[in-house]
Structure 1
Amino acid sequence: MTILCLDDPDNKFELLINPDSLKFTRKVEYTIDKVVGTSANVNRFHKHAPSNLSFNFVLDGTGVAYEKTESVEDTIEKLEKVIYKYVGDIHQPNTLKVSWGNFSFNCRMESLNYEYTLFAPNGEPLRVKVSVSFVNYISRKEEQAKANAQSPDLSHVILLKAGESIPYWCHIIYGDASYCTDIARYNGLSNFRNVKPGNRLLFPPIVRND
């Protein structure tokens, strides 16, 4: 596995012991509307939060796992230079790309933890378990392209996936789930409920009367 800087691919950190597993976290954020006169709350979709990637790996300075060329402390210094330290030229830590085989994840570091598990008699750290978490990074150019792709002024053909619905896509494209009945009718459906995954739906541009 390699962690490199997007703005400077030569500035990178290569893991000598790859992680045993990767953990992905995806979140959906909701706004909570209070229903007047009752104790009930209504959760309304707000947005998809950036996804997270986290994993653990080991830095070994004993020479058992791999040939020792530097101390664990020096290796930590190299790791932090790539993923953690503030870079004056860009006024923030580096934007990163985690890659392993065909897998890649553009991101920024969110958290970094060390657990020291082995020491030499003189107190020198010999083995460290590193736990790191990254949050997905999307450039402004990519955000703009995504926004344009979801513009209500364009036609959209959507292949419905499991867990998705017409109201969901009306909210994404038009910013208003109440168009769901009109979209169902436009696609020749009797109603917007219980539309099965695999259906290809057309979401036409809308004209707003502001």
Structure 2
Amino acid sequence: MISGLLGIIDKMRIEVFPTKEYTEPPSKTIFVQVNPEKYSLRHGVDFNEEQALGTSGSSLKFNRINSEEASFEFLFDSSGVIPPGKIKEGKGEESLLDKVSDITDAIKPAMVKPFAEVEAIEKEVEEFKKLLMGYNGETHETSFLRILWGGYSLDCRLKNMEIEYTLFRKDGRPIRAKVNCTFKKTIDYNLMLAVENKTSPDLTHQRTAKMNDRLLLLAEDIYQNENYYIDVAKANGMLTFRNLDIGQKIQFPPVK
């Protein structure tokens, strides 16, 4: 409320997580120097194209829905005109004092020191790159990220990064850079299964028998038809379908 009255702008932040489950607190939080002017989202569907010989068209068969991709352009500037970005340990929520400090830094008149050398931006860009795409030798994975900006949230991995340097010191070292990043949405496998709830009878399923499970009821649950339980018994080489052993793996083949 107070920050809104003061005209304080919430900075986009990127949280860096140690594991794909996102259950532990982030190890680092990046607050960008300047919020992006825009971002783009990409959604796609993959099809298998089947075309018969001698025909002019193809039949599209659904393969999969691709994960969401989001693209942003980040600005890095060490000239002193723009307050610097921040990298904080852990979740690193910005306090109201931090935000007020950003405003006072932004409205300060630029102090020109004729004999001072402006810092190059390479170090900041390299640290940003290392956090977003750094390789972990223990997990053999690159970083797991969460982008937060206003009402937008995305658990993702960095897909690609393009760095463009646009302003330079007299010695040729850069003091401004534009970093274009594309992030691809990621989701934990178990959560994905729960969300998609793949119970289609056209897919192969496996169940682990629990106490009091009955093959007839399991078949009805998957196929929406109890009559397939005999086919399931045959597919699993069962001599009897009346009693299931606890922990027994049962394959339910697709309906043809």
Q: Indicate how the Cα distance of structure 1 residues 71 and 89 shifts in structure 2: closer, same or farther if over 3 A, else same.
A: farther
1:114 partnered with 2:163: yes
Equivalent residue number for residue 102 of structure 1: 151
Match 2:137 to one of 88, 101, 126 = 88
Match 1:206 to one of 224, 244, 247 = 224
Match 1:145 to one of 173, 194, 199 = 194
Q: Is the 8 A contact 1:61 1:68 kept in 2?
A: no
- String of CA shifts for 1:21-79, please: whole Å, max 9, x gaps: 01000001111111344232111221101110001121001001225996411211221
SS in structure 1 opposite 2:125?
helix
SS in structure 2 opposite 1:82?
helix
Q: Indicate how the Cα distance of structure 1 residues 67 and 23 shifts in structure 2: closer, same or farther if over 3 A, else same.
A: closer
Equivalent residue number for residue 57 of structure 1: 74
Match 2:39 to one of 4, 9, 22 = 22
Distance 2:190 2:17 in 1: 15
Distance 2:121 2:190 in 1: 39
Q: Is the 8 A contact 1:86 1:93 kept in 2?
A: yes
Equivalent residue number for residue 5 of structure 1: 16
- String of CA shifts for 1:120-167, please: whole Å, max 9, x gaps: 1122211001100011101122122134x23137xxxxxxxxxxxxxx
Whichever of the two has the greater Rg, that structure is: 2
Distance 2:174 2:157 in 1: 27
Larger mean Cα displacement after TM superposition, 61-70 or 49-58: 61-70
Distance 1:134 1:28 in 2: 17
% identical aligned pairs:
26
Measure how far apart 1:119 and its partner are. 0.3
- Structure 2 residue runs of 5 or longer lacking an equivalent are 1-11, 19-24, 87-118, 204-221, 232-252
- Structure 1 residue runs of 5 or longer lacking an equivalent are 154-173, 176-203
Q: Is the 8 A contact 1:62 1:68 kept in 2?
A: no
Distance 2:54 2:85 in 1: 68
The residue type equivalent to 2:224 in the other structure is I
The residue type equivalent to 1:96 in the other structure is L
Larger mean Cα displacement after TM superposition, 60-69 or 33-42: 60-69
Equivalent residue number for residue 94 of structure 2: none
Q: Is the 8 A contact 1:13 1:78 kept in 2?
A: no
Matched residues, number: 161
Q: TM-score, normalised by structure 1?
A: 0.69
- Choose between structure 1 and 2: higher strand proportion: 1
Q: TM-score, normalised by structure 2?
A: 0.57
Distance 2:74 2:37 in 1: 8
SS in structure 1 opposite 2:191?
helix
The residue type equivalent to 1:4 in the other structure is E
Runs of 4+ off more than 6 Å: none
- String of CA shifts for 1:94-135, please: whole Å, max 9, x gaps: 111111122110100000011100001122211001100011
1:74 partnered with 2:92: no
